Structure 1
Amino acid sequence: MPQLSVIVYGPNTQGRLAELLDSLAAHPLTDAEVIVAAVGDWARETAEGHTPETIVVPLPDGTGDAAARSAGAARASGRWLHFVHAKDGLPAGAPRLIAERTAELDATDAPGVPGVPGVPGLPVDVLLFDHVTTTWRTSAAPSRDGRRLAAVGRAGRPLADAADLLRLAPLLGNRALRADFWRAHEERFGTDDEALAAHAALLHAGRVACLNQTAYEHRVLRPESLPPRAPEDRLALVDRYESLLPLTRNRRAPHAVLYDLMVRDLVRTFAREDLPDPVAREFFRRASLAAVRWRPPDHRRPAGLDGVRHALLEEGAYTRYRAFQAANRTRRAARKAVRTRKRQLGAKLRDHQYRRALDRPLDPGLAVFAAYWDRGVACNPAAIAAELAVRAPHIHPVWVVNRANAPLLPPGTDHVLPGTRRYWETLATATYLTNNVNFPDAVVKRPGQIHLQTHHGTPLKRMGLDQMDHPAAAKGLDFAALLARIDRWDYSVSANSHSTRMWERAYPSRYTSLDHGYPRNDVYYRATAADVRAARDRLGIPPGRTAVLYAPTHRDYEAGFTPRLDLAALADRLGEDTVLLVRAHYFYGGTASPLTGLRRSGRIIDVSSYDPVEELCLAADALVTDYSSIMFDYANLDRPIVIHADDWETYRTTRGVYFDLMAEHPGQVARTQEELTEIFASGAWRDESAAKARAAFRRRFCEYDDGRAAERVVRRVFLGEPEVSLPPVLPVEDRTPAPSPQEATA
């Protein structure tokens, strides 16, 4: 029998389950077992990737938290149970700490005689410990619970002697429960209201003990990323305390603490929630009845404004309470207006023009497109605009392009320059706004406007809010402003379920994910042999040569582009029949290219400024990259991919990644230039093992790319067609990619 059963339960919310299980696997448990009550297929698949060390209990989608906890506990064999939600985390060594502390409690909790000094009459049923909290804004912030845990000390004691422990964060994750105690009271803990279950555990326990060390990470998800709650759901807060307070009868100290908690929570909820008037009145009425019914005889109201609020609540004075609220809001609004006015003076002219344009009606036939911070017609927005011209020619596209790139636009492209009067007028009146990054913070999301976020790659590296723990990547990113920009999105385009989940995690809001594929990748299934030959001709690749595209990504810890390969030496080793197409990351477009002196007889071609990149992929026989998202797009062609990962550990640490590329790679992997050269010299770059790895990679990351992504997006977003009417995604095995260069010249 293990000492501790760690029961992980719930759906794989925002992809957090994998890192939780990875952290457990990184620190093997000597006297504990891990059980995953996996809700839904994604959680089950993730958990099964950690077997046999993990016991998996698969549960259908929609299974509630209480049912999931019970299912996990039914499989548990440990003496103690620790319930960990799949979205949360465990600091390194936390299970060991809990197992050791509970073993210590078991050793001192031998059966004894009640009332005999030194011999406990009741066992310790609940062990409490400290936690940290991670939100969408902060990482691992310490709790305020430590001082309360320290004040109680290590000895087990009845709750009546330590009632202040009821003020600890009401989480099941910051407490371990004796297995026999759980089974004896399981029906009382069988609620999806975690706070109710956490408090009930304390109130039913014979004795409680503390561990003044951090052993849990509570992750608070952004409310805007979760389904909206119905206003009536707030009434459950009153029900929670109406269920708990009867358990404190004849227990003076716990009753007083729990009553204070109830009144505080009821007042805060009423003040902070913008409830419809009928719901607000019912909430206030029930809260008032509970406040009077359960008020301790010697209760004293707090001083100041809180005391006024408590008095009005107990009196049931709804109208006077609302007037009190309104007066306070008026004072705060006046102070805020002064601050806002000061900020507005700096951009008065722009705001005036923009605000005037915002008063004009939306133009249903106007669409704004932008890509890569206004660099021009490119990427997913370009593919969508092209499809729009065919399927909805009545919608006029206008591109946002910076002054430097405007001369490079295709002839006849209607465009605006950022910051100009027409720019703001167009953004104010267009019905559709499409971008693969974000529009400026000053852009107002109008009712009726549709913001389409297309992204520009499949994420290997950490993105969005997930960069908070990686300052080298974030570089002072304003996360609050980022969240405001995310909240403007109506749709987010995705190429695979991995991306969908990571976008919803890194960019938490209530947009609709479009699992339609990346429109820019349609060309990989539509291009003909003639298109492939034409691409190679434009690049000057001689007939019969093997073209290898080398496209490394940006390093956050480097200031400029420095090739990590000796390209001249590599070209010499690969021989006369191989041409290297070398493309630096677009972040370095303004720097002098170190490749200038390496062009020799056409065997090295600097394609850093060549657009579109899709044409380079069509022309290449193989791709060499490190961590660039180009690998996910190129995989659609089902051509060889070689990963050159000489600094994987550094990149993984400084940037952060979502999965282990060394374990889930699309072909052969080289850690040095010598290994890379040998992969090509030996033919391993296109052998059977490389093809097998590529096939698995394509199934996972080319999931929705089948050549009709742009069609699905245009019909769904611009033409308003329902999801069920769109063409279904063709299975990977039934797709026919564009012909390879060898096939195109056969």
Structure 2
Amino acid sequence: MSPLLLSIVLPVHGVERFLPQCLDSLLADTPAGETRFEVIAVDDVSPDGCGAILDSYAARDHRLRVLHLDENQGLGGARTAALPHLRGTYVWFVDSDDWVPERTVSVLLDELEQERRRETPADVLITDFTHVYPDGGTEPNPWRHVLTGSPLVEGCTLAEHPPLLRTVMSVWNKVFRRAYLEGLGVSFGRGYYEDISVTYPALLAAERLRYLDRPCYHYRRGRAGAITATASPKHAGVFAQYDAIFAFLDRPDRPGRPVPDTLRTMVFDRTVQQALNVYDTPGLLPADRRKDYFRSVAEHFARHRPSGYRFPGGVRGVRYRLAARGARIAYAELRRTGRLPRDLKRGARAVAPAVRKGVRSGARFTAYNAFRRLPLDENLAVYAAYWHRGYACSPAAIYEKARELSPRIRGVWVVENRAQAATMPPDVPYVFVNTPAYFKAMATAKFFVNNVNFPRTMTKRPGTVHVQTQHGTPLKAMGMDLRDHPAAAEEGLDFDRLQEAVDRWDFLVSPNPHTTEHFSRAFPGSYEMLDTGYPRNDRLANADREEVRAMRERLGLRPGTTAVLYAPTHRSGRGGYVPLLDVAELARALGPHYTLLVRTHYFHTGGPGDLTAGSEAARILDVSAHPAVEDLYLAADVLVTDYSSMMFDFAVLDRPVVIFAPDWEEYRRERGVYFDLFAEPPGAVTQDAQALAEALLAGDPEPGARERFRAKFCVWDDGGAAERVVRRVFPVHD
């Protein structure tokens, strides 16, 4: 008889309708003569028929043994109860509401046979897996790219491949060498998140970890009763598991490899990220427990923050700092508006209770899962732009053209609050985020159209078509290209989450060949690139003199006045509006025949500040709050910007563009760029205020540069981009 290689531990409680599929996938996939594995099922006082199902299976297959507990122990306690009964060299903890793909057990046995014969056998074998949703939809392991092609394929330590800490920390995709696990001196916790107190120590101390690039597990996501969709105070139990992890790290007699300080810091960062994700996810924490939970996050910082710990940069770092201080109100405002540090310092004290909104219980999230069981609405499209800020950009242009060419497709917009709803056109339907109407639309819509990503909790169903438009031609590095630039850390970009989002796209809209080239690399995926031009620029390409005149009148621009639109971009890590240019001084240099339209980036809610310049200066108008930037393009005679994608859009109008880039070398070095703006500008390039004023007073000093720029970046801007997108994506009957 072959030696027993594998013990499979199966805790069972309240999963009667899932249990037979799980047992069949483990037992029926191999012949009865395959005796290299055993299944230890633990009936954790299941209130349904699970105990009888287990006994029935055990009577037919001697490889299954059943333990019936006298008191409910929870998932961690049930696993612990099984440990003294195991006989295998390796142990695998499987959840009884999940199941494994065909031939998984036999493949694992062969892999473990090879491992056991190695001079240094793997302490933990990590497997690939698949997410499965209640409607039958599947999603591949979103962290697979961190594992494939890494040293883990052949075997290494965690210190040799730290990105492993970014992957799922559950036990169900990890097979442990039993002697190693028992020697760690760790145990499963009680309550929720019970397995991380085992997983983290096991990965940190291992002499050898290995990855098996084969989906070996079907993990159910979003089912009713799952902890990821259940409102419960038990979510606060995660902090006890964190305490256990750091207690292991602090043990003087800790077994296994020494843990470098860098890994300890990564573990701490990951625990903070997880704790805040729980807090931020709608429906997980009951409303009356959120305050206490946030206080526990601050206490976690106080207990376990590593010596010399440095907060991340950008918005993520601000979130962490606020959490460490227990500044819950300011944290809520940051999450709601995306405002950066300087704005928070000015406004955090004034945040009213009315802004602390959102889902207060698990009822709405449960409703979302119920709505997902409804059939897809083939005639419904959900639109959004700029994180639910309102009706804008290419999604708005696509919506309008779809109403014309595909009228049976009903479009509904997602908006954040009533202030944004007030800016919606009167005949455009909308829903508020995190309401039942929103969840129903997100659960049943056939089409998604957005210029950013929808929340990851809104899972894309099979048959849903997601159109990603993005919101600008890139000068600066984007997406995965940011891995090599410090700005990625400052922005707090989570590359794993980004890849997960990209994997859901079906179409990606590109404005020009330059963008197609760089988006293909920055956002690797299986979507179809739509080389159509930007739908939002159709209005600019099709504008006539009457529309231009109307826009100038609307803004109060006097006839004969030269209108200069000044629109600097956002700089990472510098907080709010960055006054690199003294606008009042520029206004005095230009004189009264000019009007300066000043528009700060939408990240900066405070506006540009005092713009008083005097009676003989150019008139200055703050247009930061104007809802449609296209209106400003049409009204302006010339654009002044730095690195904003506005330059590419404004070039469609064939009007002068002046670049004001005093920090070009710094921006280029830290953010990364796709071309040399000084070598291929859209017009005059300046680096000081005097040169900028001279270029504007000269009228159009670089017409040849604009012509070359348009030939490269405006080649598809003929006014028909939205129609091309609609005809490719939506059902159109001419």
Give the structure-2-normalised TM-score: 0.52
Quote the residue 2:431 is aligned against: 416
Q: Contact 1:556–1:654 at 8 Å: present in 2 too?
A: no
- SS at 2:603 equivalent: helix
- Distance in 1 (alpha carbons) for counterparts of 2:497 and 2:129: 23
Change in CA separation of 1:419 and 1:365 when aligned onto 2, cut-off 3 Å: same
- SS at 1:669 equivalent: strand
Quote the residue 2:378 is aligned against: 364
Q: Contact 1:367–1:396 at 8 Å: present in 2 too?
A: yes
Q: Contact 1:473–1:556 at 8 Å: present in 2 too?
A: no
Quote the residue 1:500 is aligned against: 516
Could you tell me how far 1:341 is from its partner in structure 2? 4.2
Quote the residue 1:686 is aligned against: 700
- Distance in 2 (alpha carbons) for counterparts of 1:473 and 1:467: 5
- SS at 2:548 equivalent: helix
Aligned counterpart in structure 2 of residue 706 of structure 1, from 694, 701, 718: 718
- Distance in 2 (alpha carbons) for counterparts of 1:489 and 1:333: 23
Aligned counterpart in structure 2 of residue 515 of structure 1, from 519, 528, 531: 531
Unaligned 5+ runs, structure 1? 1-259, 275-303, 307-324, 726-746
- SS at 1:520 equivalent: helix
Could you tell me how far 1:473 is from its partner in structure 2? 4.2
- 1:443 is aligned to 2:455: no
- SS at 2:228 equivalent: helix
Change in CA separation of 1:413 and 1:336 when aligned onto 2, cut-off 3 Å: closer
Quote the residue 2:628 is aligned against: 612
What do the CA deviations read for 1:413-463 (whole angstroms, capped 9, x no partner)?
211111111111101111111000000011111111110001110011111
1:400-479 aligned at under 5 Å gives the runs 400-403=414-417, 404-474=419-489, 475-479=491-495
- 1:568 is aligned to 2:589: no
- 1:345 is aligned to 2:230: yes
- Distance in 1 (alpha carbons) for counterparts of 2:220 and 2:380: 39
Quote the residue 1:661 is aligned against: 677
Could you tell me how far 1:651 is from its partner in structure 2? 1.1
Could you tell me how far 1:597 is from its partner in structure 2? 3.8
Could you tell me how far 1:491 is from its partner in structure 2? 0.2
- SS at 1:481 equivalent: helix
Which protein has the larger Cα radius of gyration, Structure 1 or Structure 2?
1
- Distance in 1 (alpha carbons) for counterparts of 2:222 and 2:725: 41
- Distance in 1 (alpha carbons) for counterparts of 2:577 and 2:177: 59
1:523-542 aligned at under 5 Å gives the runs 523-542=539-558
- Distance in 2 (alpha carbons) for counterparts of 1:641 and 1:333: 55
Quote the residue 1:187 is aligned against: none
Could you tell me how far 1:693 is from its partner in structure 2? 1.0
Change in CA separation of 1:708 and 1:335 when aligned onto 2, cut-off 3 Å: closer
What do the CA deviations read for 1:711-739 (whole angstroms, capped 9, x no partner)?
11111111269xxx9xxxxxxxxxxxxxx
Could you tell me how far 1:468 is from its partner in structure 2? 2.4
Could you tell me how far 1:596 is from its partner in structure 2? 4.9
What do the CA deviations read for 1:190-225 (whole angstroms, capped 9, x no partner)?
xxxxxxxxxxxxxxxxxxxxxxxxxxxxxxxxxxxx
Aligned residue identity for 1:417: F
Could you tell me how far 1:375 is from its partner in structure 2? 0.6
Aligned residue identity for 1:710: A
Q: Contact 1:667–1:694 at 8 Å: present in 2 too?
A: yes
- 1:391 is aligned to 2:405: yes
Q: Contact 1:399–1:416 at 8 Å: present in 2 too?
A: yes
- SS at 2:679 equivalent: coil
Quote the residue 1:63 is aligned against: none
Quote the residue 1:25 is aligned against: none
Could you tell me how far 1:591 is from its partner in structure 2? 1.7
- Distance in 1 (alpha carbons) for counterparts of 2:622 and 2:389: 20
Aligned residue identity for 2:726: V
1:57-72 aligned at under 5 Å gives the runs none
Quote the residue 1:646 is aligned against: 662
- Distance in 1 (alpha carbons) for counterparts of 2:408 and 2:614: 47
Change in CA separation of 1:676 and 1:602 when aligned onto 2, cut-off 3 Å: closer
Quote the residue 1:582 is aligned against: 598
Change in CA separation of 1:335 and 1:636 when aligned onto 2, cut-off 3 Å: closer
Change in CA separation of 1:459 and 1:486 when aligned onto 2, cut-off 3 Å: same
Quote the residue 2:391 is aligned against: 377
Quote the residue 1:79 is aligned against: none
Could you tell me how far 1:504 is from its partner in structure 2? 1.4
- SS at 1:428 equivalent: helix
Quote the residue 2:149 is aligned against: none
Q: How many residues align?
A: 409
Aligned residue identity for 1:567: V
Could you tell me how far 1:506 is from its partner in structure 2? 1.2
- Distance in 1 (alpha carbons) for counterparts of 2:379 and 2:717: 28
Change in CA separation of 1:635 and 1:329 when aligned onto 2, cut-off 3 Å: closer
Give the structure-1-normalised TM-score: 0.51
Quote the residue 1:256 is aligned against: none
Q: Contact 2:564–2:596 at 8 Å: present in 1 too?
A: yes
- Counting helix residues as a fraction of each chain, which structure ranks higher? 1
Change in CA separation of 1:333 and 1:598 when aligned onto 2, cut-off 3 Å: same
What do the CA deviations read for 1:255-294 (whole angstroms, capped 9, x no partner)?
xxxxx99xx9xxx99x8799xxxxxxxxxxxxxxxxxxxx
Quote the residue 2:200 is aligned against: none
- Distance in 2 (alpha carbons) for counterparts of 1:508 and 1:629: 22
- Distance in 2 (alpha carbons) for counterparts of 1:361 and 1:663: 54
Could you tell me how far 1:342 is from its partner in structure 2? 3.9
What do the CA deviations read for 1:45-99 (whole angstroms, capped 9, x no partner)?
xxxxxxxxxxxxxxxxxxxxxxxxxxxxxxxxxxxxxxxxxxxxxxxxxxxxxxx
Quote the residue 1:144 is aligned against: none
- Distance in 2 (alpha carbons) for counterparts of 1:602 and 1:575: 5
Aligned residue identity for 1:692: G
Aligned residue identity for 2:467: L
Aligned residue identity for 1:538: R
- Distance in 2 (alpha carbons) for counterparts of 1:337 and 1:522: 40
- 1:555 is aligned to 2:579: no
Q: Contact 1:599–1:605 at 8 Å: present in 2 too?
A: no
Could you tell me how far 1:598 is from its partner in structure 2? 4.9
What do the CA deviations read for 1:328-373 (whole angstroms, capped 9, x no partner)?
998x7799999x9443434343432111111101111111100000
Change in CA separation of 1:568 and 1:720 when aligned onto 2, cut-off 3 Å: same
Aligned residue identity for 2:727: R
What do the CA deviations read for 1:681-701 (whole angstroms, capped 9, x no partner)?
3x2x513xx111111111111
- Distance in 2 (alpha carbons) for counterparts of 1:508 and 1:502: 10
Aligned residue identity for 2:700: R
Change in CA separation of 1:419 and 1:708 when aligned onto 2, cut-off 3 Å: same
Aligned counterpart in structure 1 of residue 639 of structure 2, from 618, 623, 627: 623
- Distance in 2 (alpha carbons) for counterparts of 1:553 and 1:436: 18
- SS at 1:468 equivalent: helix
Quote the residue 2:281 is aligned against: none
Change in CA separation of 1:692 and 1:335 when aligned onto 2, cut-off 3 Å: closer
Quote the residue 1:697 is aligned against: 709
Aligned residue identity for 1:712: R
What do the CA deviations read for 1:215-266 (whole angstroms, capped 9, x no partner)?
xxxxxxxxxxxxxxxxxxxxxxxxxxxxxxxxxxxxxxxxxxxxx99xx9xx
- Distance in 2 (alpha carbons) for counterparts of 1:552 and 1:337: 43
Unaligned 5+ runs, structure 2? 1-116, 131-175, 179-210, 232-283, 285-361
Q: Contact 2:431–2:437 at 8 Å: present in 1 too?
A: yes
What do the CA deviations read for 1:130-168 (whole angstroms, capped 9, x no partner)?
xxxxxxxxxxxxxxxxxxxxxxxxxxxxxxxxxxxxxxx
Could you tell me how far 1:407 is from its partner in structure 2? 1.9
Q: Contact 1:434–1:451 at 8 Å: present in 2 too?
A: yes
